[in-house]
Amino acid sequence: MMENLIIQNMNIAYQGQSAIKNATLAFEPNKLTGIVGPNGAGKSTLLKGIMGLTPLNTGAVSLYGKPLKEMINKVAYVEQRQEIDLSFPIDVFGTVLFGTYAKLGFFQRPKQKEKDLALNALEKVGMATFKDRHISELSGGQLQRVFIARALAQEAEWLLLDEPFAGIDASSEKIIIELLKQLRDEGKSIVIVHHDLHKVQSYFDNIVLINIEVVAFGTVSEVFTATNMGRAYGEAISEMISLGGGTNVK
């Protein structure tokens, strides 16, 4: 358990309404884990709670046996594209270089080591030739790769991505999922909020199925059952099952 990212009894509420209720999870390292559930289920809230971006009413988050706030440099968070201010005057290289700032002391500026980290990260995601472009000039898929590069420049061991495939074309999605699988195979631990149930089995090793409360957590084959899906999605499960083999609900 010492190697896991652990959530214990997380509760988050907005104006007295539960957004996350009694969530206890242990994310395995070196896995691609998907967080799935219906709209309003608390998927993004769960990630923000882990990162301390949303206050917890109760609960704790730890990594390697220590409070996450003491290990926060080990975790990189990639927000939803709609939350990014594309008018901010920064180019691609500057965006990725920003990932190195977490390890710099106050008033320190990036040196050649940090610049090399940023360039290597851009090369890793296939975006080095775009380094001088303003981020507003990028497509959705290109922007996601840049923010993954920022996480790599941070030298984070855990990557938490909120809906990275939302609003991007199929070819960009294929590039990104193959990149994330490669990073997993190289030792990164990756957690992704995802909504497309048809791709769960081909994308992820483990799944968190959530609807305010954690419905199920485990391997895809363990979680992706008609019983669990019915508990999470209610009447909508009949529609999903009728879609056929794309979801492979058992």
Domains of the chain with CATH codes: 5-242 (3.40.50.300)
What DSSP string describes 63-125?
ETTEEGGGSGGGEEEE--GGGS-TTSS-BHHHHHHGGGGGGSPTT----HHHHHHHHHHHHHT
Residues 6+ apart with CB under 8 A from 246: 197, 198
Structural tokens at position 34: 């998907």
pLDDT for position 106: 65
Sheet strand arrangement including 5-14: 17-27, 5-14, 58-63, 66-67
246 pLDDT band, cuts 50/70/90, is very low
Measured between alpha carbons, how far is 112 from 77 in angstroms, rounded to an integer? 24
Per-residue pLDDT tens over the stretch 86-118 = 778 899 999 999 999 877 766 778 889 999 999
In the prediction, which pLDDT does 82 show? 74
pLDDT, residue 245, reads 46
143-169 confidence digits (pLDDT tens): 999 999 999 999 999 999 999 998 888
pLDDT value at position 1? 46
- What secondary structure letter does DSSP report for 18? E
